[in-house]
Structure 1
Amino acid sequence: MATVSQEAINELQALMDRVEELLMRTFENVHQGYPKETLVRFLKAREGNVAKAHKMLLDCLKWRVQNEIDDILSKPIIPADLYRSVRDSQLIGLSGYSKEGLPVFAIGVGLSSFDKASVHYYVQSHIQINEYRDRVILPSASKRHRRPITTCLKVLDMTGLRLSALSQIKLLTIISTVDDLNYPEKTNTYYIANAPYIFSACWKVVKPLLQERTRKKVQVLPGSGRDDLLKIMDYSSLPHFCKGEGSGSGRHSTYGPENCYSLDHPFHQQLYSYINDQFLLREPVQPIKQGSFHVALPEAAAEGTEIAKTIESELQKFENGSGMPDSLDGLKINGD
């Protein structure tokens, strides 16, 4: 659904006015001064059903309290070499902003290996980026443009996606479920770049399983997507893998400081410094202890489970010798 009625917003607001103080405090960290926009996001995620949106929002707030999500930005991943390993294997970064002021996040779907740390470190890193986006990046953009900016754009690079992705499906499903349940409707549009040859075949299988509101957000771009993306953002905000005329991406050595995935990129330097500073503000005399910040891993939602099983089935078909090239697209992109 494209719009949510004012009546539904008012009903959900009335229900939220009754929640206990502890949940209300964490709700303030969620909405960051824009409660109406937050209510609209949860209503959209539940097709305008007030009762379902209320339950979803309450479950989200309880999840935040139980897992101390409000404190996650004061829990550094250390040592720095470990964090660098996470960044080298979980490729995500902020490349810039659209002409409308929305943050542009780049995600290296095909080249992410998720093999340098435990599942908990990757989940911690993902949630920290979500929280930094929602509590620092988006409020700053809103202030700069003098209007609420509560969503972002994501450019997904499919370069290098191979059968080895089979081992990543469980982790990707966990991360996607975290987003589905707790960060709904945070992505305005997903742009697919550098789609491999068999993308269309896998997309036909996955697309019908996605909710209509998600399908409408997905735009598959030709080649690197540069020309299409330049209509909505300046060249300086293009992810590094979109700056060529053709298709293709690469690792850090190819792009140097332009690579927004790298720990050396200003976005990750600022993020890591912010988290370390927050730790020192909270516990100035305590040494930072190594160890991941454990968050209860959610059971995959029904839709997510179905999509993961479908992708896994398709991958097995290719692996068993369908004669197709050893690459694919089929990443689960529903949700936030």
Structure 2
Amino acid sequence: MSATVAANTTMSGAAAASTYSPPPGRLGNLTPAQAEALAKFAGELRAEGAFVEGRHDDATLLRFLRARKFDVPKTKEMFLACEKWRKDFGVDELVKSFEFSERAEVDKYYPQYYHNMDKSGRPIYIERIGNLNVKALYACTSLERLLQQLVVEYESFLTMRIPACSATIGHPVETSLTILDLGGVSLSNFIRVKDYIAAATHIGQNYYPECMGAFYIINAPWAFTAVWAAIKPWLDEVTVKKVHILGGPSAYKPELLAQIDKEALPKQFGGACECVGGCSLSDVGPWNPAGCKGSPTASALMEKMALEQPAHGQIISA
């Protein structure tokens, strides 16, 4: 990287940090009523012995408050239901002991992975269901293990990925950018995996609210109207507004590249990244700069991120 390019990228990163303003309803941008709701919510949880130090920080409580429009009774109902689910599902134990040993095999039939971050610092999450082979998928794993892996990834997102992205971009990051690739999808395949998708959607909305910043559905076929009609009822109105449904490469490439550096986006989606062993298994990003496999493109991107990192970045705790 030349000195000129290094200087330019450093200035652009510093400029991004200096112009950052917390979105409404986040720490640093609460109305008096929202701040009062946060204090009331936290106080009630503490009084009832339901507050867990370290895990229940203000950013976490605000995610639930935003999901229920700062209605404290409704938020508390949602939050306590989540805490019960965490205990019943065994989340804390899963985080300590779960191993998804079939990851490489599952990746052949249903790739689901994090890969780098977008221009706003959000981790990029990608799913591809076009080539889904349900029979082969459930021959190497199960619905239960797929959901356990999903939950472990959500926990990693909160405790590892967004703190690393926050440090790299220089301001708090709380959400992800999701890409759902429907290239080659068939309605019959979707129907066969709908139980997993419905369960995964329920977990995301109810137990990990306000984690999705943008959702790009690409390579959407003409039959997607039927699929979308099946999915939409599972989603709340706030989530639906974050969804962008796009067609083929000519439609989605400009949209994705407006949000994601070319070096951060896998080549198959119009980017330049080609991780050795495949982007879907690399887990490359600020949380794992080298990735599971070496990648010259990823290494160059990490160098660029390091140069752009402001001297005093803020990290949002999870």
Contact 2:114 2:126 in 1 (8 A): yes
- Indicate the residue corresponding to 1:42 in structure 2: 64
Question: Structure 2 matches for 1:251-262, cutoff 5 A?
Answer: 257=276, 259-262=278-281
Does 1:90 pair with 2:116?
no
Aligned partners of 1:241, 1:216: CA distance in 2, in Å?
26
- Indicate the residue corresponding to 2:51 in structure 1: 24
SS in structure 1 of the partner of residue 189 of structure 2: helix
Shift of 1:209: 6.8
CA-to-partner distance for each residue in 1:240-265, whole Å, 9 max, x for gaps?
43117xxxxxxxxxx77374323xx2
- Indicate the residue corresponding to 1:334 in structure 2: none
Contact 1:86 1:122 in 2 (8 A): no
CA-to-partner distance for each residue in 1:303-335, whole Å, 9 max, x for gaps?
xxxxxxxxxxxxxxxxxxxxxxxxxxxxxxxxx
Q: Which amino acid counterpart does residue 92 of structure 1 have in structure 2?
A: Q
Contact 2:117 2:165 in 1 (8 A): no
Aligned partners of 1:229, 1:53: CA distance in 2, in Å?
34
Contact 2:124 2:179 in 1 (8 A): yes
C-alpha change, 1:60 and 1:119, in structure 2 (3 Å) is: same
CA-to-partner distance for each residue in 1:213-241, whole Å, 9 max, x for gaps?
12210012342311111111101222443
Shift of 1:195: 0.8
Contact 1:103 1:152 in 2 (8 A): yes
Shift of 1:134: 1.1
- Indicate the residue corresponding to 2:36 in structure 1: 7
Contact 1:111 1:160 in 2 (8 A): yes
Shift of 1:189: 0.9
SS in structure 2 of the partner of residue 53 of structure 1: helix
Shift of 1:161: 1.5
Does 1:120 pair with 2:147?
no
SS in structure 1 of the partner of residue 51 of structure 2: helix
Question: Structure 2 matches for 1:16-165, cutoff 5 A?
Answer: 16-20=45-49, 23-25=50-52, 28-29=54-55, 31=56, 35-77=57-99, 80=101, 82-112=102-132, 113=134, 114-115=137-138, 116-162=140-186, 163-165=188-190
SS in structure 2 of the partner of residue 154 of structure 1: strand
Aligned partners of 1:148, 1:6: CA distance in 2, in Å?
18
Q: Could you tell me which runs of 5 or more consecutive residues in structure 2 were left unpaired when the two chains were aligned.
A: 1-23, 293-318
* Correspondent of 1:212 among 205, 219, 237: 237
Shift of 1:67: 3.1
Contact 1:240 1:259 in 2 (8 A): no
Q: Please, what TM-score do these two structures have when normalized by structure 2?
A: 0.69
Q: Could you tell me which runs of 5 or more consecutive residues in structure 1 were left unpaired when the two chains were aligned.
A: 245-254, 275-336
Shift of 1:94: 1.6
Q: Please, what TM-score do these two structures have when normalized by structure 1?
A: 0.66
Contact 1:240 1:258 in 2 (8 A): no
Aligned partners of 1:205, 1:76: CA distance in 2, in Å?
31
Q: Which amino acid counterpart does residue 156 of structure 2 have in structure 1?
A: Y
Aligned partners of 1:217, 1:202: CA distance in 2, in Å?
17
Shift of 1:65: 3.0
- Indicate the residue corresponding to 1:192 in structure 2: 217
- Indicate the residue corresponding to 1:321 in structure 2: none
Give the CA RMSD over aligned residues: 3.1
CA-to-partner distance for each residue in 1:58-80, whole Å, 9 max, x for gaps?
221232233331232332436x4
SS in structure 2 of the partner of residue 111 of structure 1: coil
Contact 1:88 1:261 in 2 (8 A): no
C-alpha change, 1:209 and 1:61, in structure 2 (3 Å) is: closer
Query: How many residues of Structure 1 are paired with residues of Structure 2 in the alignment?
Result: 252
Shift of 1:146: 3.7
Q: Which amino acid counterpart does residue 125 of structure 1 have in structure 2?
A: Q
Shift of 1:101: 0.7
- Indicate the residue corresponding to 1:235 in structure 2: 262
Shift of 1:193: 0.9
Q: Which amino acid counterpart does residue 14 of structure 1 have in structure 2?
A: G
Aligned partners of 1:164, 1:257: CA distance in 2, in Å?
29
Identity fraction in percent:
25
SS in structure 1 of the partner of residue 127 of structure 2: strand
Q: Which amino acid counterpart does residue 16 of structure 1 have in structure 2?
A: L
Contact 1:42 1:53 in 2 (8 A): yes
SS in structure 2 of the partner of residue 77 of structure 1: coil
